[in-house]
Amino acid sequence: MPAHPLRGRTAIAGIGAAGWGEAPGRTAMELMAEASLSAIADAGLKLGDIDAICAATSTHAFPTLSVAEYLGIKPRFFDGTNIGGASFEMHLLHAALALDAKLCDAVLICYGSNQRTAGGRLVSMSEAQWHEAPYRPRHPITAYALATSRHMHQYGTTRSDLADIALAARGWANLNPMAFARGPLTKAEVLASRMVSDPLSSRDCCLVTDGGAACVMVRADRASHLPRPPVFLLGAAGAHSHRSITQMADLTVSVATESGPRAFEMAALSRADVDLVMLYDAFTITTLMFLEDLGFCPKGEGGRFVQGGAIAPGGRLAVNTSGGGLSCVHPGMYGMFLIHEAVTQIRGDAGARQITNCDVAICHGNGGTFSSQVTALLGSASTL
């Protein structure tokens, strides 16, 4: 079968970060702009080279307009697709399409939020669903807790299994100087943490931090002449399943079961080729379900799969090596931060947490309440 025409045609040439954790006094736009300038410099480009913007935020109705004005970019192509936290993985695909069609030459994909110092609560522009509103769901956690209750009921998944995911994330975070939540954490502490929405306790929930992240994408031929090792987009695909958790066909199965195979097909890769697994961990249950839905273990086996440090440093599968949304950074929408870590690992720049021979990374974004799923496969030059 011939390779998909988009496979390896574009690459991430630069990444940038700003204010991960706490950035007092900084606005969301300032963090997004700082991360963007850092990514552009990392790519060896100038601001004036950027002719396309992809952005989604929790605080801007028209994010590409806001970014373009702030940085003084006149984009020829722009995409403000907002499907929640998975938006940025979708932006990779849209950027690749636009670059490949020569609608533009250098795409900035960016995100920024100051939601920790601005109030310490998750900020969301997501509107209430009228048929849910009387029952006062506290989304997103209500929806993820409902799904968790069902997973436990059907498959015997336990809070102890979920705690293993939180502990693995902390183990990786302890190797990452950029991670916000570092330090020892025991299973007893996780299990004793405050119940927020049964069966999810505070340690099952991602952090609420500040932070910005960005990347710059160009066509592969140009990337090879830029200073940093290119990280190629090998495949990407998305899927929608529902808007309201009431309409999720099976609460234990996300449509990562659709986005994953499509992305692998475009990349002409299989799970066995994957060195690094970056999964959107807004809650411990999301890591578990995406391991199943992307085929790293059979459906229902996620709890057993993660036991005993299997996804922690030194385990059998490297998952969320930054420390993830649970222990590294999670400023509301987390998708861009998956990409940042994947590029860092593929470049070999991950320091103490660097995994050996990281050539293929899967970045799996999630949005809404298990609503949108986008899978992207990134690879080093050796994968072309």
Those residues whose C-beta lies under 8 Å from the C-beta of residue 136, and which sit 6 or more positions away, are: none
In the bound state with other proteins, the residue whose beta carbon lies nearer, of 102 and 135, is: 135
In the bound state with other proteins, the residue whose beta carbon lies nearer, of 202 and 382, is: 202
Structure tokens at 139: 């989304």
Q: Please report how close the Cβ of residue 147 comes to other proteins at its closest, in angstroms.
A: 7
Q: Please report how close the Cβ of residue 135 comes to other proteins at its closest, in angstroms.
A: 5
In the bound state with other proteins, the residue whose beta carbon lies nearer, of 344 and 371, is: 371
- Closest alpha carbon to 326 in 344, 316, 338: 338
Structure tokens at 294: 């992307």
Q: Please report how close the Cβ of residue 132 comes to other proteins at its closest, in angstroms.
A: 4
In the bound state with other proteins, the residue whose beta carbon lies nearer, of 147 and 267, is: 147
Q: Please report how close the Cβ of residue 186 comes to other proteins at its closest, in angstroms.
A: 22
Those residues whose C-beta lies under 8 Å from the C-beta of residue 297, and which sit 6 or more positions away, are: 291, 304, 305
> How many CA atoms does the CB half-sphere of 202 hold within 13 Å?
5
Q: Is 292 helix (H, G, I), strand (E, B) or coil?
A: helix
State the residues that interact with other proteins by CB under 8 A. 130-132, 134-138, 142, 145-150, 153, 194-200, 244-247, 251
In the bound state with other proteins, the residue whose beta carbon lies nearer, of 150 and 299, is: 150
Q: Is 225 helix (H, G, I), strand (E, B) or coil?
A: coil
In the bound state with other proteins, the residue whose beta carbon lies nearer, of 187 and 242, is: 242
Q: Please report how close the Cβ of residue 136 comes to other proteins at its closest, in angstroms.
A: 7
Q: Please report how close the Cβ of residue 154 comes to other proteins at its closest, in angstroms.
A: 9
- Closest alpha carbon to 187 in 274, 100, 284, 76: 284
Q: Please report how close the Cβ of residue 240 comes to other proteins at its closest, in angstroms.
A: 12
Q: What DSSP string describes 262-285?
A: HHHHHHT--GGG-SEEEE--SBHH
Q: Please report how close the Cβ of residue 137 comes to other proteins at its closest, in angstroms.
A: 5
- Closest alpha carbon to 341 in 326, 327, 352, 354: 354
Q: Is 286 helix (H, G, I), strand (E, B) or coil?
A: helix
Please state, in angstroms and rounded to a whole number, the distance separating the CA atoms of residues 370 and 347: 30
Q: What's the start-to-end Cα distance of the chain, in Å? A: 15
Please state, in angstroms and rounded to a whole number, the distance separating the CA atoms of residues 341 and 324: 9
Question: How does DSSP classify residue 52?
Answer: E
Question: How does DSSP classify residue 213?
Answer: E
In the bound state with other proteins, the residue whose beta carbon lies nearer, of 135 and 357, is: 135
CA dihedral 18, 288, 303, 312 (to 10 degrees): -30
Q: Please report how close the Cβ of residue 151 comes to other proteins at its closest, in angstroms.
A: 9
In the bound state with other proteins, the residue whose beta carbon lies nearer, of 142 and 176, is: 142
Helix (H) or strand (E) holding 30: helix 28-42
In the bound state with other proteins, the residue whose beta carbon lies nearer, of 83 and 200, is: 200
